Chains A and B, each alone.
Chain A
Amino acid sequence: MKKVIFRVDDRLIHGQVIEGWVKYFKINHVYLVNNKVSGDPLQKMIYSSSLPPGTELTICTIDEFIESFGKRKQSREYVLVLVETVDDLYEIRSLLNDQIYINIGCVASREHKIEVSNTVFLNPEEIYKVCRIRDDYEVFIHKVPWETSVEIRNFTDLLEGNL
């Protein structure tokens, strides 16, 4: 597994993230990149309290993240970056590179969304954005590390809602 993991998850920090990723890879640093959470002290406290002790949590806005992440020191330890939506991932695409594992984990069903997998539902605009990211990098749908990941390859199928 690559050391830096970018994950789209509309539930941000929840059981799957902690049990499946943080504990499994012994991730030391989690970035929660979200403008709304970053501006709300209560939400910040709630998410900080749900991480296991010893795991550092940085909550920041998208702009702050873009500015700071590129400057961070290279480390051999695992880093998990959580964003809420595909739109947020698209906004930080300038930071992506081949050393980053891009993972869409959980995007809940809403009206007019297409079922991409049983936990990922995207609208056409989001699919378009995933496709643009996929032009340059591999993108996976991956719930937990020990389950099979699905690499998003076929855009025509994806736009039709199939994988």
Chain B
Amino acid sequence: MQDLVNVVTLGSIYLLFALGMSITWGTIDILNFGHGSIFMFSTFSAYLVLAETSLPLLPVVLIGVLVGAAMSLLIQVVAFEQILKRAKDKRTAEMQILIGGIGVAIIPLAIAQHQTKSNPFGLSESSYQVGTWVIGDIRITSIAALTVVVAVLLWAATAIWLKRSRHGLALRAIGVDAETAALMGIDRRRLALVTMAASGGMAGLSGVLFTYSLGAITPESGDTLLVKAFACIILGGVGSMLGVAFGAYFLAAAETVVLTQTSGSWVEAVSFGLIFLVLLLRPAGVFGRKEVRRT
């Protein structure tokens, strides 16, 4: 039972993180390799603020979300928009964005590594104390409960927004055919900025919540999570909201099984192995529809 609680908590962290990557990749075709850096650096910003003054939970979360959104917007404007403007076709643009994201991600990482000397940092200066509830023989921390609730609500809200609202429709239209969407009067640039900001905010949110529940993270934590989030998205199918949730909880479950059955150091291989298996057996993912060919 305790394992199940852990799976749900871990899966919710993965979901929050992967959701941000999934909405940009599934709609505006941006696989943002800076996402891990945003995750880490917004937490790091909160940590810096907390070194000055002690704050309760809500302002800390807010700092994380705002810094994440701001960083994501900045990357979109200075890097990805410039790449898209210059690239001659979609395929080169995709690869350039991947490489550009890796390049941009080095900068916040370098700053954080310099400031912390690559040591772990946490949010323990916050006035919010993580509580623990014990029901029978199950332990649930308050932050774990909060993470699960936030992740599920945010995921549902995003899914409904994409499915039901006019903006969501416009965004999905871009994902299917950007040119036709533009002809229908959709402002691609503005929607892309909104999407990137939302994605960055989710990265910041997941960073703060993850750090609260784990105690501390290292500047390099973002990189590992990036590959795991990729596994979640691939597993469920790119662009599928149901898929990313399935992927996140499935990965968490698989990792927990491996963690409890083996000595522990094979856990990292689970996500990499999953990526491999899915790409080989079912490249479109479990819930993915066949990709629309546009050539």
Does B bind A?
A: no
Write the residues of chain A forming the contact surface with B, with a CB cutoff of 8 angstroms.
none
